[in-house]
Every structure is written in structure tokens, then in C-alpha cells.
Amino acid sequence: MKRIGVLALQGAIREHVHMLENLGCEAVEVKQKQDLIKLDGLVLPGGESTTMRKLLDRSDLLEPIRELAQRGLPMFGTCAGLILMANTLVNDEPHLAVMDVTVTRNSYGRQVDSFEVKLDIPKIGKAIPAVFIRAPHMETVGKDVEILAEHEGKIILARDGHLLGCSFHPELTSDSRILKYFVASMV
């Protein structure tokens, strides 16, 4: 059974835990360093990246998670989780700085604070629902980064080797295909 951590400091934690359990994984809530032991993968959920950063510093988790990413532990960052992983943030200092992408926060105007679309993702499936909540997007990606999905010209799902990042919340729907892709093909 694959043992997948979910960073559990703030944000959409429970939904990821449920979806991972439904996919047959053991889900581990990561709140402190010891929780990172013997993981096969780690999910960085959506929420508020600035709050999560403060809590990461307070719980001494930033450096250990960065090291695990650099050593090749598969990670999936959704929304704020993508912001945490990005090497470069437009108008902000980066956090973990492990994924070769440049990310802009809050890319969709106030009127469309949150919305849902259906995505056709060739590598994953058709009509996959995606919930965007004050979502970021990827401005540019490095040469070894594979773009998996775009929406209205913006890069919203990409893979940098063992690191997967998306702008939206795949866990807030009942469709688990994106999380399944992460677990099945990367972990």
C-alpha cells in the first residue's frame, strides 16, 4: 500500500485524505517532521500560501520538505501547494523553490474569484472537473517541464519530473482521475 502524506497545516486537507484513501492509499497527515518518515509521496494542498509558509517555518518543515523534493520524493501541489513549490513567484519571494516554473498568484479577476470548468487532459482523461478558487497559474515553465493542461491560454497543470503542480482543486470534486494519475504514474 502506498503511503502518501498530506501537508496538514492549513487548507483543503480532509478532501485529499479521503480521495487518497478511496484510491487505496494510506494517507498520513503531515504536521511535524516525524510525519515525513517513510512516505512514498506528498500532497501540498490548496489554501493560503502565505499562511502555509508561516506555519511551515513555525513547524520547521520547510527545509525537510525541500530536501525530500530535491532527493526525488514525488509531490503534488494543488493551488497554494503549486505556489509553495514554484522556483519563481511573480512579485513574491519563492518558498520551497523546487519546481522549475514561474507562477503568478490570484490570476483570475475578482468577479471570477471561483469557478469550475471541465478539462480535456490528453494524458489523463476527458471532461475532468476542475475547481478554481483565487487560483494561480504558470506564466512559464522550464525546458524539462511537461505542460499537461492549459485553460484559456494559461498553463494550469504541469509536471517537472517527480513534481506535479496544478492551479485548481482536483480534490473538491468527486472525480479522482488527476490524483489517481499522480499516485499511479509518479509515486
Number of residues that bind ligand GLN (CB under 6 A): 11
Query: Does 133 interact with ligand GLN (rule: CB under 6 A)?
Result: yes
169 catalytic per annotation: yes
Question: What is each CA distance from 61 to 33, 87, 108, 116, 148, in whole angstroms?
Answer: 6, 18, 30, 32, 29
Q: Residue 156: how many CB atoms within 10 A of its CB?
A: 25
Catalytic site residue from 79, 95, 137, 166: 79
Query: Does 106 interact with ligand GLN (rule: CB under 6 A)?
Result: yes
- Pick from 80, 138, 158, 183: which binds ligand GLN (CB under 6 A)? 80
79 catalytic per annotation: yes
Q: Which is nearer to ligand GLN, 40 or 48 (CB)?
A: 48
Query: How far is Cα 102 from Cα 107, in angstroms, rounded to an integer?
Result: 13
Query: How far is Cα 10 from Cα 154, in angstroms, rounded to an integer?
Result: 26
Q: Residue 174: how many CB atoms within 10 A of its CB?
A: 8
Query: Does 46 interact with ligand GLN (rule: CB under 6 A)?
Result: yes
Query: Does 49 interact with ligand GLN (rule: CB under 6 A)?
Result: yes
Query: How far is Cα 175 from Cα 83, in angstroms, rounded to an integer?
Result: 23
Active site residues: 79, 169, 171
Residues that bind ligand GLN (CB under 6 A): 46-49, 79-80, 83, 105-106, 133-134
